Chains A and B, each alone.
Chain A
Amino acid sequence: MQVNQTKSQFVAVASIAAELSAVMEVAKEISLAAANAKAIAFRAGEKAKGFQPITDFINELAKDTIELVNNINEYAFHLYRLTVNEQRMTEACRRFEKVGQLAVGARYADSLNAPLQQVRQRNQVCHREFIIQVSELLIKLADVMHPARAARVIAANSRIEASQAGEYLQSLQAVAESVDNAAQIINDKVHKCRSALTIINVAE
């Protein structure tokens, strides 16, 4: 495996960690928006009756997203560890090969063959595990897209319900807008994560 490829893995894994951190923040914002909406709907009483169950949905979606991202973060951390190990073994292979060139004629030069083979094998195993983890992470990221899509549908419903809430119209519309924006941001961030992972897969 080439050194540059390991570098691109580092960049990809770091990008994913950064995007996931942003998704987490947005999910927390949705959760806050849900609490805010619940309070408004409570004050609006009958006028926002249709809005009240929606707030629970919004909150559930935020919780699901946070849980999924926590789970994905563990995958991302594992990918990072694999990348560090792979980088170390790639570097070891390169340096061992250099030793082989310099040790021509040395009495015990052949004794390095076994460690070199072992490091190459460990490197391959590590890389195969990395590829498997990337595939699993892509599936998990697709799972995060589901609540984000559902949030956009709920945001549309919220707008309809908000239109019947009289003087609370603006407040509830702002909530719907906020949920819609957050869902869009999550969608974009997750898409970036998938793109970063796809670049690694393409590089194989």
Chain B
Amino acid sequence: MRMTKIYEGAYQWIMLGRDEHKPEKIIDTNQYMVRTANRCLLIDPGGIELFAPMLAAVLHHAPVEEITDLFASHQDPDIISSLGLWDQALPNAKLHASALWEGFLRHFGCETIEYVPIPDHGGVINLGSTELQIVPAHYLHASANFHIYDPHAKILMSGDVGAALEAPGMPVFVENFDMHVEKMRYFHQRWMPSNQAKRAWIDRVRKLDIDILAPQHGRMFKGDDVKRFLDWFEALQVGIAV
């Protein structure tokens, strides 16, 4: 699994993805890790098929006993169907996920890990030396959906917002925004159900200082491409299946 450091300060952000051994028919995903001196947060740690390469990659940066926090942006299997395995591997971890999805996510197996329910208005994840904000992104696309914003690193992990479906092995950052647009259009129009929810999210996110917008599929956006994405998404009509 490819590991790309996207922030280096008092702590690190690492993007993990582009796994060469991923079974062909499962969707490619980006996982993110926030590594502090003695804690480690895994953001959308991935599906069950990805568990072994994902943990093997994480072990380059942190021992299992320091993987203290998991975050699931929503309930989809590519996000968190590996939960039952993390549950067996991590002796003292918490899962931060929507209160709405608790009864659903527990189907994956969650006996050792402490489930920390996130209320609809969001919250924070305190990693000791730093604190991350949990930003509501409901109906984008799941009915209870959250993103993670780091005001120090200026990174917004944006779940399925900004996602693109591409051939395996694509670069980790958008290089030409105009050419990238067509790789995102259908995904957003079809998976995102609500223009109202989209506008609420854009209003909220425009107030944040963002250097990197990091989606769960496809390439990340940095610098001016973040604003370009927000403008493009604002103008896009979503919910096209009805």
Q: Which residues of A contact B (CB under 8 A)?
A: 88-89, 91-92, 95-96, 98-99, 102-103, 106-109, 111-112, 114-115, 119
Contacts and interface: CB of A to CB of B under 8 A. Distances in A.
B52 interface: yes
B53 to A, nearest CB: 6
B64 A107 contact: no
Cβ-closest 5 pairs across A and B: A111-B63, A102-B56, A98-B52, A92-B88, A103-B56
Contact of B60 (A98, A106, A119): A106
B10 interface: no
B55 A103 contact: yes
Contacts of B53: 102
A115 B59 contact: no
A10 B12 CA distance: 44
A115 B89 contact: yes
Contacts of B59: 99, 103, 106-109, 111-112
Contact of A112 (B55, B60, B109): B55
Contacts of A98: 52
Contacts of B62: 108
Contacts of B63: 108, 111
A98 B53 CA distance: 8
A95 B52 contact: yes
B151 interface: no
A52 to B, nearest CB: 54
Nearest to B82: A95
Nearest to A93: B88
Interface string B71-101: 0000000000000110011110000000000
Contact of A96 (B60, B61, B89): B89
Interface of B: 51-53, 55-56, 59-65, 84-85, 88-91, 109
Most buried by B among A95, A107, A109, A112: A95
Contacts of A106: 56, 59-60
Contacts of B89: 92, 96, 112, 115
17 contacts: A88-B109, A92-B89, A95-B51, A96-B88, A98-B52, A99-B52, A99-B56, A99-B59, A102-B52, A102-B53, A103-B59, A107-B61, A108-B62, A111-B63, A114-B64, A114-B91, A115-B90
Contacts of B52: 95, 98-99, 102
Given A99-B59, A109-B59, 18 more contacts: A88-B88, A88-B109, A91-B84, A95-B51, A96-B88, A98-B52, A102-B52, A102-B56, A103-B55, A103-B56, A106-B60, A107-B59, A108-B60, A108-B64, A111-B64, A112-B59, A114-B91, A119-B88
Contacts of B90: 115
A8 to B, nearest CB: 21
